């Protein structure tokens, strides 16, 4: 397994975590600002890891 594939796998896990945190809301209160910040941080990290993995495999 090369480093690029490992980065793609990590990006997938981070994307799944961002989706899970974004969907974990309360019926009464909705999403909190902490959930939105953490989910967006994970989404950015997932996009960076995926892009790095693709560039590592291409380059």
| Residue-number span of the structural domain to which 24 is assigned | 3-58
Specify the pLDDT at position 37: 94
Does pLDDT of 30 surpass 90? no
For tokens 């961002």, the residue is 18
Specify the pLDDT at position 58: 94
48 phi, psi to nearest 5 deg: -65, -40
Specify the pLDDT at position 19: 93
Q: What's the number of domains the chain is made of?
A: 1
pTM of the model: 0.85
Specify the pLDDT at position 14: 96
Residues 37-58: pLDDT tens digits?
A: 999 999 999 999 999 999 999 9
**Mean pLDDT for the chain overall:** 91
């Amino acid at each position: 397994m090369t480093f690029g594939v490992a980065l793609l796998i990590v990006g997938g896990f981070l994307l799944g975590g961002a989706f899970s945190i974004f969907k974990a809301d309360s019926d009464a209160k909705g999403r909190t600002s902490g959930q939105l910040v953490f989910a967006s941080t994970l989404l950015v990290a997932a996009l960076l890891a995926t892009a790095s993995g693709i560039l590592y495999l291409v380059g």
